[in-house]
Amino acid sequence: MFLPSPWRQFFPGILAFAEQQQVWLDSAATAQKPQSMLDALAQHYQQGVANVHRAQHQPGERATRAFENARSSIAKWLQADAQDTLIFTKGTTEGINLLSQALAHHLQAGDEILISAYEHHANLLPWQQLALARGLILKVLPMDTDGHLDIDQAIAQLSTRSRIVAISALSNVVGHKQSLSALLSAARKIGAWTVIDGAQAAVHERPNLQQLDCDFFVCSAHKVYGPDGVGLLFARERAVPALRHWQFGGEMVRHCDYQHAEFLPAPLGFEPGTPSTANIIAFAATLEWLQSLDSQAIATHEAALHAALLQGLQARGMQIIGSPNCALVSFNAPQVHHADLALLLGEQGIAVRAGHHCAMPLLHSLGLAGALRVSLAMYNNGDDLQRFFAALDQALEILQ
Amino acid sequence: MNQLSTTAQQAIDEFQACEQWEQRARLLLQRGAQLQELPQTLRTEDNLVHGCETRVWLLLDREAVPPRFQAASEARLLRGLLALLLLRIEGLDAEQITAIDVTDWFAQLGLSRQLSPSRSNGLNAVLIRMRELLDNL
Ligand SMILES: Cc1ncc(COP(=O)(O)O)c(C=O)c1O
């Protein structure tokens, strides 16, 4: 299997793993970091730090400029309009929690929130808990037999009480890129807010928020080769006024007395406290580096790896969840517990994920206690897959 | 530290003799296969150990003297680890069981790596549950 990755050399973490005989096939959980990100982090700290948005001194001004430049740069990566807003969060999870609270005051008992059957807990629990607290109806949109969202059914489920539609563009279990435009425009017609969980999708295709007509889009830096603890919430111009301030503290107020306060508008009004300045700057640097690469070549490479992965698993009679077409494959070996297989792969230096993948209701509805997931990134190569398959064969020989 | 029983010492000798992970895995599977089956009727929600991603059932036979644990898991390697844990506490009283250093026991067996700090295999959760059951004796 000759599928070299020309980008592997830029990821010190992958090279370090290779020296330890470790194969990283768990990038859907978190991705390794390119040298450019490490350099940006080091450079930021080495030149001296300061808070953003508060100090009058020169280091503070410099930090603020770098921080706001990062915001513009990331907005450009998203292909957002100048009027749209980019709010920094800790990650996808926080972005969705923010939305569930910042939109809550619009919702009344009997209103509906729609999600898909394959959502990560991060795009289920905030809505579920909101629904429980306010007497809302949480509608779960069904999948077809391929494990894809059934768009016609989803549109048929929309009603005049539908207020929020929150869907992942790429499931972290099924690995299927959803085309959502029909659903998004139907939701928009009836006046529901649309939220896209882009945690997985953003890694494998640069988001285009000109085309993806949602109100809100969230993702996490650490999955897109960026630093930990940073995420973004894109809010389209038309949707920003709907958000009510949700967390309170320093740097978000216009005016404050003991009994009352007035808050800044988005984004600053939604970023109370000291932000993760270094990481945000390093995230922008990561994305700039990504954009300097040949995205078509990366997509082609990832598709070839994915096809080889799928083919090898099918040839071995593995039970694959759905019909994955991107980035990852989840599967079980017949008659073998996923935890046993994961342990023996681990023994052989293969890092894959096993369990319910933070999608317990999905696995439960499929009648599975868990599954293994192999996930790919631009730095993986044919050797990684070969080593995985050799280890899989060994493990199965012992277990079957 | 409790004195190791003969069978426990035998287990150590056996596992220490393994030079490759395949041998260790096969041995672990054998141990798991010897673990007494837990009837479906006892695989209840109440007997489930929380904190394991893989389901593990644990119960304490209070009638037995000294009290005796029974354990089960759907994963075969984990069943092997459970068997080894039960082997270690065989014949011990509550106080002695609580005093056991599980990490040390699995280290002696050369199985430290199986005891990952993540919750995924849950042996630590099993031990905590054992202590709870013993406390309520
Ligand atoms: C589809 C999806 N949504 C949300 C999340 C949560 O992301 P984070 O843990 O970075 O907040 C993940 C992470 O696994 C994911 O795969």
HSE-CB of A184 using CA atoms within 13 angstroms:
18
**In a domain? residue B35:** yes
Q: Is A226:A242 a contact under the CB 8 Å cutoff?
A: no
**In a domain? residue A185:** yes
Domain interval for residue B90: 6-135
Q: Nearest C-alpha of chain A: how many angstroms from B106?
A: 16
Cβ separation B77–A347 shorter than 8 A: no
Q: Nearest C-alpha of chain B: how many angstroms from A339?
A: 6
Q: How far is CA A346 from the centre of its chain?
A: 25
* Chain A residues touching B76 at Cβ < 8 A: 337, 340, 399
Q: Nearest C-alpha of chain B: how many angstroms from A340?
A: 6
**In a domain? residue B112:** yes
The CATH number for A162's domain is 3.40.640.10
Identify which of B26, B74, B114 has the shortest CB distance to residue A343.
B114
pLDDT of res. A205: 96
Integer distance in angstroms from the first to the last C-alpha of chain B? 22
Residues A225 and A333 in one domain: no
Q: Is A394:B21 a contact under the CB 8 Å cutoff?
A: no
The residue to which tokens 């894109």 are assigned: A234
pLDDT (mean) for A297-321: 98
Say what the ipTM of the complex is: 0.88
* Mean confidence (pLDDT) of chain A: 96
**A94 Cα nearest atom in ligand 1:** 11
What six digits make up the tokens of B65? Answer: 């003297």
Task: Tell me the pLDDT band of A172, cut-offs 50, 70 and 90.
Answer: very high
Residues A250 and A375 in one domain: no
Q: How far apart are CA A218 and CA A234, in angstroms?
A: 6
Q: DSSP labels for A251-286? A: T-EEEE-SS-EEE--TTGGG--S---HHHHHHHHHH
Q: Is A339:A12 a contact under the CB 8 Å cutoff?
A: no
Cβ separation B54–A370 shorter than 8 A: yes
Residues A127 and A250 in one domain: yes
A366-393 pLDDT per residue, tens: 999 999 999 999 999 999 999 999 999 9
Task: Tell me the pLDDT band of A73, cut-offs 50, 70 and 90.
Answer: very high
Which of A291, A322, A344 represents a domain boundary (last residue)? A291
Residues A99 and A155 in one domain: yes
Residues A264 and A377 in one domain: no
**A93 Cα nearest atom in ligand 1:** 11
Residues A228 and A135 in one domain: yes
Q: How far apart are CA B120 and CA A396, in angstroms?
A: 20
What six digits make up the tokens of A338? Answer: 């996923």
A76-92 pLDDT per residue, tens: 999 999 999 999 999 99
Residues A95 and A154 in one domain: yes
Distance A94 CA to ligand 1 centre (A): 10
Residues A145 and A274 in one domain: yes
**In a domain? residue A1:** no
**In a domain? residue B111:** yes
Task: Tell me the pLDDT band of B116, cut-offs 50, 70 and 90.
Answer: low
**In a domain? residue A31:** no
The CATH number for B62's domain is 3.90.1010.10
Residues A134 and A274 in one domain: yes
**In a domain? residue B126:** yes
The residue type of A172 is N
Does residue A200 have its Cβ closer than 6 Å to ligand 1? yes
- B52 has catalytic annotation: yes
Residues A248 and A116 in one domain: yes
Q: What crossing angle do the helices spanning A382-399 and A338-347 adopt, rounded to 10°? A: 120
Does residue A197 have its Cβ closer than 6 Å to ligand 1? yes
pLDDT of res. A312: 98
Q: Which helix (H) or strand (E) holds B43?
A: none
Cβ separation A370–B53 shorter than 8 A: yes
Residues A259 and A368 in one domain: no
Domain interval for residue A337: 8-25+294-399
Residues A303 and A273 in one domain: no
A321-376 pLDDT per residue, tens: 999 999 999 999 999 999 999 999 999 999 999 998 999 999 999 999 999 999 99
Rounded alpha-carbon distances, angstroms, from residue A40 to A35, A36, A202, A279, A282: 9, 6, 21, 9, 5
A111-149 burial, b at 16+ Cβ within 10 Å, e below that, comes to: bbbbbbbbbbbbbbbbbbebbeeeebebbbbebeeebbb
**In a domain? residue B1:** no
**In a domain? residue B22:** yes
With a CB cutoff of 8 Å and minimum separation 6, the contacts of B120 are A339, A342, A354, A355, B52, B53, B54
pLDDT of res. A6: 98
**A358 Cα nearest atom in ligand 1:** 14
